[in-house]
Chain A
Amino acid sequence: MRYSGLKVITEGLFGNKGWGPAWRNPTPKAEYDAIIIGGGGHGLSTAYYLAKNHGLTNIAVLEKGYLGSGNIGRNTTIVRANYYMPGNSEFYSHSLKLWEGLEAELNYNVMHSQRGQLILAHSDGQRDTLARRGNAMINQGDDAELWTLDQVKDFAPYLDFAQTRFPIYGGLMHKRGGTARHDAVAWGYARGADRRGVDLIQNCEVTGIDIENGVVRGVQTTRGAIRAKKVGMVVAGRSSQVAAMAGMRLPIESHVLQAFVTEGLKPIIDSVISFGMGHFYISQSDKGGLVFGGDLDFYSSYAARGNLPMVEHVMEAAMTLMPMIGRAKVLRSWGGIMDMTPDGSPVIDKTHVEGLFVDAGWNYGGFKAAPASGWCMAHLMATGESHEVARRFRLDRFRSGHVIDEEATGSQHNLH
């Protein structure tokens, strides 16, 4: 069923009885051409682009819970392409272009809102770094504007400009940055993949990966064995455990990242604002809640909930940046499990097993990457070659030294 404004009106007139389920609920077949393990944003977009760009339709997505039950529904929804490092820059640029056409592509309202993202500078050095980053973004073909203090004051007068501890020197505005409705991205890709014949199989946990003579043959699941010529592991949050089924160790430490939302308020913050000193970022949802987050809790965790010290730290950063936020009441907080790699950049690559591919290590930046991650993973699985914008996301780059250290904090565990 194609969604349209006319359809909404006619359904409204006739009691909304004509809406069907957005996707089927198929039973798994005995064999597929390709299997994607993981029904999150990246897994669903991989399936969608395998079907759409490469004509592979005899494929299944296996999800141990329900579709979109992981980080795609647990993030702060920021979409941006403001990376500096070669490897990241072209990849996120490609992803943002896909975002810009996503709603028409999927016939699904993902509420992508290019409301702009402003990163603040709090020292001369930080402003120079932002200028350099802005130049890299412009060279990549994306947009960036280096803003003076007066421009920031005009744009966001509610920031605390009087404080002396972290004075605001200016900022970098990325006007094509913004937010999107996170669940809708998973649902849009799921519906799109289903319409192209992909089997989305929920409540189906993979318990083993069958490998014979170095070639993948299929997977064992809680709903029986399924054969497949190609298998993609796209399971952020449990990447290490799934890879272990294929005898692999991944360069990943799993950490918890918390996020928060306040009660609904009248419109006040009409863009995404990142506080350069405190690792704090905030936007306002269409429903009115202020959505914000900070840094990792900084210890290995699979708990999907954090501890109070980081809650306090994030609230302090919020109060430092915009004291008015102290009047808002926090409604909820939650945590997501981040695949942290040593250099803070992801992996989309083949493995030592023929036909087995891995898409993992998205750190705390996986949401905005979902379209391009699926695009590139699908390209890799279909053609056996890395896509040109993802060719640096190699699994062996730590051993070879070709790291992509976006934060420039070093490339070992525990620094990002």
Chain B
Amino acid sequence: MRIPCPLCGTRDRREFYYYGSEDYLKRPSDQGMVEDLDNHLFLRDNPAGVMRDVWYHEAGCGAWMVVTRNTISHEVLGSELVAKQKEA
């Protein structure tokens, strides 16, 4: 499995640190309920099939990206920068 970095191109998986489901990016408000934090921290998406998850190009350009891939076939379908998502 190789990960397509939007800045560096397709790179070895070992250059990336894995953060799990993109739920990681959807942090609830600090004023929110305990249930919201529980959902955010622990009860994340865990699909068997197409998944969007967060990878950090630790040993490369340092970019954060959301990768779309299939957890059953390990097929990688695309990636986009987290920064770009936030702008949109």
Cα A207 to Cα B10 with chains together (Å): 38
Given contacts A307-B1, A414-B18, contact A302 B42 (CB under 8 A): no
A22 close to chain B: CB less than 8 A = no
A241 touching B34 by the CB < 8 A rule? no
Central interface residue in A299, A302, A309, A398, by most chain B CB within 10 Å: A299
Which positions 226-262 of chain A face chain B at CB distance < 8 Å? 238, 240-241, 249-254
Report the interface size for chain B: residues with CB under 8 A from the other chain. Answer: 25
Count contacts on A: residues with CB < 8 A to the other chain: 23
* Residue contact A399 to B34, C-beta cutoff 8 Å: yes
Asked if B48 and A238 sit within 8 Å, CB to CB, the answer is yes
**Count of A-B contacts judged by CB separation below 8 Å:** 64
Q: How far is the CA of A309 from the CA of B74 in the complex (A)?
A: 14
Contact A412 B41, CB 8 Å, known A240-B46, A307-B13: yes
Q: Which residue of B lies closest to A307 (CB)?
A: B1
Question: Is A300 a contact of B72 with CB atoms below 8 Å?
Answer: no
Q: Is A346 an interface residue (CB 8 A)?
A: no
CB of B27 closer than 8 Å to a CB of A: no
Q: Mark A285-305, 1 if CB is under 8 A from B, else 0.
A: 000000000000011111100
Task: Identify the closest chain A residue to B38 (Cβ).
Answer: A399
B73 an interface residue at 8 Å Cβ cutoff?
yes
Nearest opposing residue in chain A for B41, CB measure: A412
Q: Is the CB of A250 within 8 A of B19?
A: no
Nearest chain A CB to B30 CB, angstrom units: 17
List B contacts of A399 (CB < 8 A): 34-35, 38, 42
- Chain A residue numbers with a CB within 8 Å of B42 are 251, 342, 398-399, 412-413
Complex partner residue of A250 from B21, B41, B43, B53, CB under 8 angstroms: B43
Q: How far is the CB of A82 from chain B (nearest CB, A)?
A: 27
Please determine whether B43 and A249 come into contact, CB atoms closer than 8 angstroms. yes
Q: Is B51 an interface residue (CB 8 A)?
A: yes
Interchain CB contact under 8 A, B41 and A398? yes
Q: Indicate if the CB atoms of A303 and B38 lie closer than 8 Å.
A: no
Return chain B residues, CB-CB under 8 Å to A254.
46, 48, 71
A414 close to B1 (CB less than 8 A): no
Q: List 12 interface pairs A-B (beta carbons < 8 Å), by A numbering.
A: A240-B46, A240-B48, A249-B44, A253-B20, A299-B13, A299-B53, A302-B48, A302-B71, A302-B72, A309-B12, A342-B42, A412-B42
Chain A residues at the B interface, C-beta cutoff of 8 Å: 238, 240-241, 249-254, 298-303, 307, 309, 342, 398-399, 412-414
In the A-B complex, the 6 residue pairs with the closest CB atoms: A249-B43, A399-B38, A240-B46, A251-B42, A398-B42, A302-B48
Given A254-B48, A301-B71, A307-B13, 5 more contacts at CB 8 Å?
A241-B48, A250-B46, A251-B42, A307-B1, A398-B41
